Amino acid sequence: MSFGLYIRQRRIEMGYGLNEFSGRIGISPAYWSRVERGIEKAPRDELIEKTAALLGMSVDELFLQAARLPPDMQKELPQVVSLYRRFNSSARP
């Protein structure tokens, strides 16, 4: 499922209309509609964080849906890659 569709489903479940939701995170409804329809890529980090807070979702979960590392992990990319490699190699038989 795409980032936009994932968010759209949650937004609707939470009872937010497009105009109200986009207003609360500080962007235009037209832009957010394009995100939800997959015309635009996942938005910048700040908007993903605002979206997570407004929809009561995990920031990490939304960054994974956006196929990006959360900002705190981006700063520590070498360590993240190293830990991943160690975990992945130890998990194999």
Q: Is residue 86 part of a domain?
A: no
Q: Is residue 88 part of a domain?
A: no
Instruction: Give residue-wise pLDDT tens across range 35-57.
Output: 999 999 999 999 999 999 999 99
pTM: 0.82
Which domain does 37 fall in, by range? 3-68
What type of residue is 92?
A: R
Q: Is residue 84 part of a domain?
A: no
Q: Is residue 82 part of a domain?
A: no
pLDDT of residue 80: 84
Q: Is residue 16 part of a domain?
A: yes
Count of structural domains within the chain:
1
pLDDT of residue 92: 63
Q: Is residue 19 part of a domain?
A: yes
pLDDT of residue 93: 59
Low-confidence ranges of the chain (pLDDT < 50): none
Output the domain CATH number for residue 49: 1.10.260.40
pLDDT of residue 89: 82
pLDDT of residue 13: 97
